[in-house]
Structure 1
Amino acid sequence: MTDGPEDSRPENERRAAAREKARQLRTTQQRKDRRNRLFLSGGIVVGALAIIAVVVIIIVTAIRPTVPGPKNMASDGVVVGAGLKVQPTPSLSADASPIPTTPDASGSVVNIRVYVDYLCALCGDFQRTNAEQLEPLVKDGAVTMEVHPIAILTSHSNGTRYSLRSANAAACVANYSPNSFWNFNNSLFENQPKEGSSGLTDAQLKDRVSASGAKSTSSIDSCIDDGTYKNWVTDASDRALAGPIPNSSVKKLTIAPLVLVNGKQYTGSLKSASDFKAFVLQAQGDSYSTSTPSPSPSPSAG
């Protein structure tokens, strides 16, 4: 009994058919091999291009253009004094270290220094609570207000990078129209965007520049569009986060707003104007007592 029908073809035909089948199998396998090699090489090329793209992004991000910092912000902050005028300082080169503001030696002028992110809700609370009582004091020359715009909430605005853009706008105003800085700074806390929102658009920032009475608005508008001082803002923010904070005992920025009065950190309520006023008066008294020599004791009667 056989397992199946025998192939009745002549042996030569069977061999030829076997050879043809083997050839077809080899051809099919060769095609598969070529496709695999193409897929492999294509994958390698795509992977290599992806790696190159990542490296380029890292290099471009790491190498920041050497744009000088804004004028009137040599300390990384804007100092507003008598008449709400900004104390002028030169533009520093991109690799220069900031120059801390020299405290008033007599102790008669209080220096209030604030580090603010324009998206920071607590920064807004402090500004809106105290702006009204601070403005006449600054205007009369009893107080200097030194504002340090920083960007630590850049990733908290739906990808619009509002913290960075608004701080850049503040630097643009300080550079081109410094004496409108006080009004512009206040305007950024009026109807302040909420954390997590997209913030103001560049067009809306320009509207607030114009409403603040700024001059050279075309230059400021271009500065906002170009993001001229974005790298400077990032560097200034990094310096504050790394510390130390000049003319104070604060090692580094850990919270916003950071409020310093004659170098002493205010940790009271950000929504109590009376609490902050009391702290200012206390700091002023402390500074005055340490800067005024004690009278020499009268000779005792012999």
Structure 2
Amino acid sequence: MAGIPPSKSDRREQAREKAAALRAEQLKREARGRRITLLSIIVGLVIVAGLIAFVVISGNKKVNVNPDASAPTTAVGINGGISFGADGVAGTSNDGAIVVETYLDFLCPWCAKFEAENTANLDEFREAGEITLVVHPISMLSGGDKTAYSSRAASAFAYVADNAPDKALAFSTALYTNQPPETGDGLSDDEIVDLAKGAGVPEDVAKAAVGNQFADWAILQYQEAAARTELLDAQSRFTTPTIVIDGEKFTGNATSADEFRAALETAIAGGGSTPADDANADQ
């Protein structure tokens, strides 16, 4: 027996119920969409806030360099560098000798190669009283960050120059011999302390050397050097190592001991340095 077909009023009621169900489902979808949108906005704001905080913190590290930062007391050499005379003690000089300036970053691989090849030459002529060595420990590869390795190492060297001046050159050699990769965080403060102690620096001085007292000064040393056009290369860049012999930039092969020695001998003889090509410079 066939069922009784729904009445017109029943069909209308069913239609209303179906429409209500569809509307309820639509409202659920819209509510879900609003929640997702709101959550996305919140996440986005958190990310933006984090980025702003990162930029501010990074900017504070890089920008807040004190233009009147104190230099180490041993920075009595030409252009504010740390001078070394015959006895190898920071803050001393050789009367009547030509001046050899080195602008070096303790994180620069080419600077380490320069030191490895030419420390013997520099020591020989310095100890003979024929040159005064003036070291500029600059923070170039830090990008202006006072907590980066270039800044920390330069500051530690400057502190040792002031407080254990007869150990500064040995400490410098230790920093280059144990140079970390150019990328990365560099040596830790504890590792720098150990290197200083290994170079004969008293323990109390070694521990205090990582206080970053001269980080601002090391960054300023770089900024001042980079502003001197006579120190720039053919592309108007300041690179490391930069060596100045008797007032003339050495543009020869910084990792050739023979070439560098010849330039020193020429300058000592009164003829000035005779640089060749501008090679082996770190950006």
- TM-score, normalised relative to structure 1: 0.70
Q: Is the 8 A contact 1:83 1:140 kept in 2?
A: no
Task: Write the distance in 2 (CA, Å) between the matches of 1:115 and 1:147.
Answer: 6
**Paired positions, count:** 258
**1:188 is aligned with what amino acid?**
L
Q: Is the 8 A contact 1:70 1:174 kept in 2?
A: no
Q: 1:196 to 1:65 in 2, by over 3 A?
A: closer
Deviations 1:224-246 (A, max 9, x none): 2x5454454344334333x216x
Q: Which runs of 5+ in 1 are unaligned?
A: 89-102, 289-302
- Deviation at residue 52 of structure 1 after TM alignment: 2.4
Task: Write the distance in 2 (CA, Å) between the matches of 1:207 and 1:135.
Answer: 24
Task: Write the distance in 2 (CA, Å) between the matches of 1:204 and 1:62.
Answer: 27
- Deviation at residue 122 of structure 1 after TM alignment: 2.5
Match in the other structure for 1:97: none
2:103 to 102, 110, 115: 115
* CA-atom RMSD in angstroms: 3.5
Task: Write the distance in 1 (CA, Å) between the matches of 2:27 and 2:50.
Answer: 34
Q: Which moved more, 1:40-49 or 1:62-71?
A: 62-71
Q: Which moved more, 1:164-173 or 1:260-269?
A: 164-173
Is 2:42 the partner of 1:45?
yes
Q: Is the 8 A contact 2:130 2:268 kept in 1?
A: no
Q: 1:266 to 1:55 in 2, by over 3 A?
A: same
2:87 to 68, 83, 108: 83
Is 2:245 the partner of 1:261?
yes
Identity of aligned residues (%): 25
Q: Is the 8 A contact 2:137 2:154 kept in 1?
A: yes
Give runs of aligned pairs for residues 40-189 of structure 1, distance below 5 A.
40-63=37-60, 64-65=63-64, 68-72=69-73, 73=75, 75=79, 77-87=81-91, 108-154=96-142, 162-189=149-176
**2:221 is aligned with what amino acid?**
A
Give runs of aligned pairs for residues 168-247 of structure 1, distance below 5 A.
168-190=155-177, 192-193=179-180, 195=182, 200-215=187-202, 217-224=203-210, 227-241=212-226, 243-244=227-228
- Deviation at residue 223 of structure 1 after TM alignment: 4.4
Q: 1:27 to 1:220 in 2, by over 3 A?
A: farther
Q: Which runs of 5+ in 2 are unaligned?
A: 273-283
- TM-score, normalised relative to structure 2: 0.74
Match in the other structure for 2:279: none
